[in-house]
Amino acid sequence: MSSIFGKSLSFPPRVGADGRMAWSEGETNIRESIAIILKTEAGERLMLPDFGAGLGRFLFEPNNAATHVRLADVIQNALRRWEPRISLLSVEVGPDPDDDSAAIAAIAYRLVATGAAEQTRVAIPLGSA
């Protein structure tokens, strides 16, 4: 049943126990796709120059509420544009309690194919508070 979500090389790329490239499928593939979208900068993909969220531009921004609101907006727009297998429920960005120079994005979504609710968290490097 996981084939309804797709299948692709795992992210990050790695070699499996059988010595071949590892593949991901199902819900794992969607979580990895979200990470790829958020970690890709505009212009990195030759054939898709607009692909990605471009979160690198926030690297030296202050880790405060204003930056968190802007990050949430960029994340929502990128995921709505580039990941059609999910229906975005919420994106909440706040400071990382373990790292003053990072924020955490909590992303809640529903799988379009099954309606199942899922969530993932992504660390985003920033400047200090």
pLDDT for 72: 98
Residue 98: other Cβ atoms inside 10 A: 8
- What is d(CA 58, CA 53) in angstroms, rounded to the nearest whole number? 11
pLDDT of 67-109, one tens digit each? 999 999 999 999 999 999 999 999 999 999 999 999 999 999 9
**CATH number, domain with residue 120:** 3.10.450.40
The count of structural domains within the chain is 1
Domain that holds residue 16: 2-125
Reply yes or no on whether the pLDDT at 2 is more than 60.
no
- What is d(CA 53, CA 75) in angstroms, rounded to the nearest whole number? 6
> Mean pLDDT over residues 59-74, rounded?
95
